[in-house]
Chain A
Amino acid sequence: MSNEWPLWEVFIRGQHGLNHRHVGSLHAPDAELAMRHARDVYTRRNEGVSIWVVPSAQITASAPSDKGPLFEPANDKVYRHPTFYDIPDEVGHM
């Protein structure tokens, strides 16, 4: 039991013009079969109109310990949100 098929990550675009979204992973010997397996495993009920398969080994992920440096700086930048600004009622919807 040494010759295990490599792992692939599967991304599916749903019906409504949304982004491809990660739905899970599977094992397959190559890209062509990964695509076929993805179709069988993840789209049995019309879940998608498009599939991406990516070798899991090719994905670079952020580490949990990077959460602070990566994401905390956004916390004190409230001015990036539209609700930071008061628009006078007289101006109407903006």
Chain B
Amino acid sequence: MYAQMVKSEAANDDPALLAAFQARIDAGERIEPKDWMPDAYRKTLIRQIGQHAHSEIVGQLPEGNWITRAPTLERKAILLAKVQDEAGHGLYLYCAAETLGVTRDDLTEQLLSGRMKYSSIFNYPTLTWADIGAVGWLVDGAAIMNQVPLQRTSFGPYARAMVRICKEESFHQRQGYDLITKMAQGTAEQKAMAQDALNRFWYPSLMMFGPSDKDSVHSTQSMAWKIKINTNDELRQKFVDQTVPQAKYLGLTVPDENLKWNDDKDGWDFSEPDWNEFYDVLKGNGPCNTDRLSARQKAWSDGAWFRDGLMAHAKKAEARRVAAKVAAE
């Protein structure tokens, strides 16, 4: 998902405290920043929320790529609004992470140095305009699958950020589907672009949910803490079941020859993505890892003089205000 393979920490606090904490979570209570929490809960959440925030921020890049080349003014306005939303989502999430005691600069530094990850999906390029449709339809669609249940997550600030994000995310998916519908119903060349976008984004979208449950080593603790609500495979199945009919409506073919309706499970059977590719992309070897990270590094270092300048101005203005007040007294 936007947070994949979040390593959970082993809890080694006082068993009585841990039991009381778990009882609060089991009772459906929200944990708030000043409440006692196991160190491992705090660390795991910082990692998860941080990774989620980084994904929103880096996620602006593949779409920002097309803002200046959107085919109409309306599409350009829509794409700008969407990319601005992604920035907003990143900011909500950074703020939620900061309530756990990590600083914004620390989170930024960990992204830029590669110590914290962002979702593997954003290391794939957006080669054609149809890709912008596929990103909204598939990538945001997959994100929504994960984010809707996270509105009930145990950590209050995270849950509240998710509520805001989910309200806005539905627009993202619908504008993407609307875009790719136009392409799929357009000229033969446009339809081919839509099919090509689906071909390239299908498996990377399935990877967003993380490895298969049998290989997902961090899930049990996170699920007990309700910072993960569904298993990776549950969400992936739900996503496939939702998306296959949508592709059919478009007259596009899901690039999976094993895709078959299964009456017994009342869902689609489908091929797993290539997990070697997934791990390779996480390691930094995806098509765009270097580009994405260097774009963020450049933005951060190019903006340094501006951030510092504004801070210097604010400090001087404050000093002048204090001096004027003293003089008046």
Question: A63 contacts the other chain (Cβ, under 8 Å)?
Answer: yes
The SS class assigned to the B binding surface is helix
Q: Evaluate contact between B310 and A27: CB separation under 8 angstroms.
A: no
- B152-193 contacts to A, CB under 8 A, are 160-161, 164, 168
Measured CB to CB, the nearest residue on chain A to B317 is A30
Count of A-B contacts judged by CB separation below 8 Å: 55
CB of A63 within 8 A of CB of B34, answer yes
Interface size on B, residues (CB 8 A): 30
Which chain A residues lie closer than 8 Å to B105 at the CB level? 1-2, 4
Complex contact A41–B34 (CB within 8 A)? no
- Closest chain-A Cβ to B35's Cβ sits at a distance in Å of 5
Choose the segment among B87-95, B141-149, B233-241, B256-264 that binds chain A (4+ C-beta atoms closer than 8 Å): B87-95
The interface size bin for chain A is 20 to 34
- Whether B34 and A26, one on each chain, are in contact in the complex, defined by CB atoms closer than 8 angstroms, is no
Is B85 in contact with A44, judged by CB distance below 8 angstroms? yes
A27/B104 in contact, CB under 8 A: yes
Q: Is the CB of B34 within 8 A of A61?
A: yes
Residues of B within 8 A of A7 (CB): 98
Give A55 to B104 CA distance when docked, in angstroms. 16
Cβ-defined partner of B310 (8 Å) among A23, A29, A41: A29
Asked if B311 and A41 sit within 8 Å, CB to CB, the answer is no
A75 at the interface (CB under 8 A from B): no
What's the minimum C-beta distance from A91 to chain B, rounded to whole angstroms? Answer: 41
Inter-chain contact A3/B307, CB cutoff 8 Å = yes
Q: List 9 A-B contacts (CB under 8 A).
A: A1-B106, A1-B108, A5-B310, A7-B98, A30-B310, A30-B318, A33-B310, A41-B91, A64-B34
